[in-house]
Amino acid sequence: MGRSEYTIQVKALTDTEGAFNGDLSVYGNIDDVGDVVEPGFFDSTLAVKTRFPLLWQHDPTQPIGSFDVVSADGPTLRIDGKFNLNVGRGKEAYALLKAGDIDGLSIGYVATDYKYDSDGIRHLYDGELMEGSLVTFPANRLARAQAKQRLLNMEKKSRYAGCKFLEKMTEEERLAALEELEALDKSAKADEEATDEPEEPIEAEDEKAKKEQVEDIDELLEAIKECTDELDRLKE
């Protein structure tokens, strides 16, 4: 049975205890064992089922929870899962994940359609997804490198980077927090710019009423004058 790895992100701590989400596999990326998962590799399995066991380090004797595939059409195989906190290893694995001590994901599969290219890279076109595992050393490190670089870039430009509350967070949590704060800043700035647009002056209700009353009187006087002029002409 083959293995290929990606990374995992924990849901917010306010979510259901034990819940997580992440990318179980990535398409088009060469992992450390020389495999490339091509788009459509999971289609045959997902046509039959979408729920799978979550294992500890690919050990079939140590199930620690389960997960559901929520998307396979994008650049990754996206999953939502839950650790079984009534199982000793499941509780320990979730604690390690929350602490940021381990964050690798790996797929266990049987490849049924694949081809080696001239460089010896194996391209996986079809197969059966058997399980997903939480692992210490993932073979596919692309997402982790990308997340690290995104965090570094965010810390350089964000005015919140030095906030003390961020120090207790994992890298993934810090990145998510900084991105959310930046988004809130942009939203607040947009609202402020919208309220800064010049508005037509608004008159006080009593002043407005007086002005309308004067205008009505002027119109009435003008009508009376026209009527008087007409009567004078008739007398002539």
pLDDT at residue 45 in the model: 96
* C-beta separation of 94 from 68 below 8 A: no
Spatial neighbors of 37 by CB under 8 A, at least 6 apart, are 4, 25, 26, 27, 28, 29, 124
Higher confidence at residue 210 or residue 42?
A: 42
The mean pLDDT of 208-212, rounded to a whole number, is 67
Residue identified by tokens 């399980």 is 131
CA 27, 49, 112 angle in degrees (round to 5)? 55
Write out the residue range of the structural domain in which residue 71 sits. Answer: 2-140
Q: Is the pLDDT of residue 188 over 60?
A: yes
Percent of the chain topping pLDDT 90: 30
**Cα(227)–Cα(236) distance, integer angstroms:** 15
Is residue 131 in a domain? Answer: yes
**Cα(115)–Cα(221) distance, integer angstroms:** 97
Give me the count of residues in the chain: 236
pLDDT at residue 8 in the model: 46
Is residue 66 in a domain? Answer: yes
Is residue 58 in a domain? Answer: yes
Question: Minimum mean pLDDT among 65-79, 90-104, 137-151, 219-233: which range?
Answer: 137-151
Q: pLDDT by residue (tens digit) across 99-125?
A: 888 888 889 999 999 999 888 889 999
* C-beta separation of 108 from 3 below 8 A: yes
Q: DSSP letter string over 47-100? A: TT--EEEEEETTEEEEEEEEEEEEE-SSSEEEEEEEE-TTSHHHHHHHHHHHHT
Q: In the numeric block, which tokens belong to residue 170? A: 């994992």
What does residue 200 show for φ and ψ, rounded to 5 degrees? -70, 140
Higher confidence at residue 35 or residue 195?
A: 35
Per the structure, the count of domains in the chain is 1
